[in-house]
Structure 1
Amino acid sequence: MFAIIGFELKKSLQDRGLLFWTLILPIIFTVIFISIFTSGLSGSDRQQVIVSIVSGYTIMFVFFIMISMADSFIKDQNIGMVTRIESTPLPSLFYLLGKWISYMYIVIIQILILTTFGKVIYDIPLTQPLYLIILFIFLTVMVTGLGLALSLLVKSINMGIALTQVVALGGAVLSGLWIPIDIMPAFFQKISNFLPQYWAHQAFQDAMSGTLQVADLFKTLFVLIGFSLLGFIVALFAYPNFLRRSKG
């Protein structure tokens, strides 16, 4: 399992596309949208908008790790790697965990860099750092857990890219990552309560501002871990079909 983790991390560091999706593009979007939406604002209003954008775009872009995860699994499938691993004493569960954990490292680094960027450039408040660290970890597990499920279900990288965009962009719109949830239609506000992006975004903003209550923190963590378990369970059930589609 540790060999798989090390191999995936080494391979990911050489992937320029991953660098673009995880860091370059979110920073560009953050700078552009902060410039647009803070024009003419000052004081607490400006800071509130900046906190919403930094946290919102961080949450939105962590979902794009699903593209790299799907690409990695499909390549393993096409070159016969999955079949060869299956013929060794290594349990399938360790193979899945090795891939999952390697991408957890990448996402947590992504979140830390984007949050540091927001702090250094825009001086966003990090009033409840312990709560933020806990949220970072649970968000990472949740996103990569869903990515694990998606990677075993899709049959091509194009399908993986399409579904990732639906999850990332569609979830961002419905969860208020682009525009404040309060000004969205009531129907969309009800839908947002069933999406992990909404819960993560609200908790991130409150923890940054120092207003996140313990009860709300645990409620958010419960939602995130629930989606994490859902992704892992779906992946376990999807693995046999994934294995049958593998070459070799």
Structure 2
Amino acid sequence: MLLYKLWRSFTKEILLLKRDIGGIVIIFVMPLLLIVTITLIQDSTFKNLEGSKIPIIFIDNDKSEVSKNIKAELENSKTFQLLTNFNEKSAQDAVFSGDYQMAIVIPDNLTKDLNSNIDSKVQTIVSSFGLEGDSAKVKTAAPKAKEIHLYFDPATNAGFKNSVMNSVNKMVFEIENKKIYKAFQEQLGTTENLDENKNLISFKEITPKKGEMDVMPNSVQHNVPAWTLFAIFFIVVPLSINLVKEKSQGTSVRARISPTPYFVHILGKTFTYLIICLIQFLLMVAVGIYLFPYMDLPAFDVSGKMFQLVTVTLFAGLAAIGFGVLLGTIADTQEQSAPFGATSVVVLAAIGGIWVPVFLMPEFMQTVAKFSPMNWGLNAYYDIILRNSGIGGIAKELVFLFLFYIATVAISIFYERKQNAV
């Protein structure tokens, strides 16, 4: 008998959804558009950075060894296209007006002053050890440090600015080191030929392997789980609206006076929307596997991970359903439930790491993110896709998601009984 009542509650929810075409569009079509659009934008951004050159203004007032080395390094980086038909004033105007992202201005006599500065310091160091070079040199006051001027468009991303400044600093540092080494060789009269360009310490990235192949994370692996989770939680909007409709149309009154317990109605909604969450997930995965390769995007790899991903989807769906039930129970009108539901999902996505990675947030917001169900679901997805974890590795996130569902449903039932107590 209980199963029959549960089935009738399930079919009622299906009928409600069939009458709400707008809700169906929100549930299925919008997330697909989001995942395709965001992934294309991010992937094309990476490709633009790799495949095309950014035009920047390069002004060489030194026209000697150091400036030529800097210019050669910038050209060899395959990132920048150098424009040289500017003076410093016109370059500043062009960059500050947004025509170009940046300009690099090399000062006059950079090479000459750098050589003088290094020679002066090396002579001082050699003399302090009681050593003299082959030829005595007249000590002169070291010239002041030179400044390479960098102009940036005020709208330029801070990450890009820091990256360029670090690259220029690295280039200048390497040039200075080579010159200092050469100056010591001349002062000490040594002819030892060392490889000046060889670094004593280098970096090697160690990536996870699948067989003999390196596993390299890509934009698809990040976007498919993130926007799947966003889609799952967006069912809060139609679910809460349907609950409010039931109250306004008297359906909830008939449900209360029927012999069917209220929790059976909640279970009916839970099963209905769990199926919807699963369909959303399968659609997103299908787009990642079959559509993305035709759009020149990496295919989404789910080999050996499908069971774990479906498990996370079901538990994330439970959390989203619990939140939707709570919102629909508390709200009195659709004008309350719809905007608040949509806004709260966006806020949960923001603090959960969907929009901005959690590690980039302020420390306080990183703490807040730990209490977001979206963050639990996202970490579980990433653990499976990017860190090859099994069910045991994501057990904590699954428990949190399930407890969130239990807590929100329990509060909803308590609130409903209190409101309708005679």
Q: TM-score normalised to the size of structure 1?
A: 0.89
Aligned length: 244
Could you tell me how far apart the structure 1 residues matched to 2:388 and 2:359 are?
18
Larger relative contact order (Cα-Cα within 8 Å, sequence gap ≥ 6): 1
* Structure 2 counterpart of 1:126, one-letter code: V
Report how far residue 155 of structure 1 moved. 1.0
Structure 1 partner of 2:341: 164
Structure 1 partner of 2:239: 69
**Larger fraction in helix:** 1
Alignment of 1:73-92 (within 5 A): 73-92=243-262
* Structure 2 counterpart of 1:84, one-letter code: R
Asked if structure 2 preserves the Cα contact closer than 8 Å seen for 1:176 and 1:198, the reply is: yes
Asked if structure 2 preserves the Cα contact closer than 8 Å seen for 1:175 and 1:197, the reply is: yes
| Stretch moving more, 187-196 or 118-127 | 118-127
Match of residue 105, structure 1, among 261, 269, 275: 275
**Larger fraction in strand:** 2
Asked if structure 2 preserves the Cα contact closer than 8 Å seen for 1:53 and 1:178, the reply is: no
Q: Structure 2: 5+ residue runs without aligned partners?
A: 1-5, 51-213, 293-298
SS in 2 for 1:155: coil
Structure 2 partner of 1:37: 42
Larger Rg: 2
- Superimposed CA distance per residue, residues 157-208 of structure 1 (whole angstroms, 9 cap, x where no aligned partner): 1211222123210111111111222322222222111111112112212312
Could you tell me how far apart the structure 2 residues matched to 1:45 and 1:174 are?
28
Structure 2 partner of 1:137: 314
Structure 2 partner of 1:211: 388
Structure 2 partner of 1:180: 357
Structure 1 partner of 2:198: none
Could you tell me how far apart the structure 2 residues matched to 1:242 and 1:156 are?
15
Q: TM-score normalised to the size of structure 2?
A: 0.54
Structure 2 partner of 1:52: 222
SS in 1 for 2:343: helix
Asked if structure 2 preserves the Cα contact closer than 8 Å seen for 1:4 and 1:95, the reply is: yes
Change (3 A) 1:167 1:50: same
1:7 aligns with 2:184: no
Could you tell me how far apart the structure 2 residues matched to 1:214 and 1:67 are?
30
- Superimposed CA distance per residue, residues 5-30 of structure 1 (whole angstroms, 9 cap, x where no aligned partner): 11211331342212221121111111
Report how far residue 46 of structure 1 moved. 8.4
Report how far residue 221 of structure 1 moved. 0.6
* Structure 2 counterpart of 1:17, one-letter code: G
Match of residue 23, structure 2, among 12, 15, 18: 18
1:124 aligns with 2:300: yes
SS in 2 for 1:38: helix
Could you tell me how far apart the structure 2 residues matched to 1:29 and 1:58 are?
10
Could you tell me how far apart the structure 1 residues matched to 2:32 and 2:399 are?
29
Could you tell me how far apart the structure 1 residues matched to 2:350 and 2:393 are?
22
Change (3 A) 1:107 1:213: closer
| Stretch moving more, 129-138 or 99-108 | 99-108
Asked if structure 2 preserves the Cα contact closer than 8 Å seen for 1:152 and 1:242, the reply is: no
Could you tell me how far apart the structure 2 residues matched to 1:81 and 1:241 are?
18
| Stretch moving more, 190-199 or 118-127 | 118-127
Could you tell me how far apart the structure 2 residues matched to 1:166 and 1:12 are?
22
Asked if structure 1 preserves the Cα contact closer than 8 Å seen for 2:233 and 2:317, the reply is: no
SS in 2 for 1:41: helix
Structure 1 partner of 2:414: 237
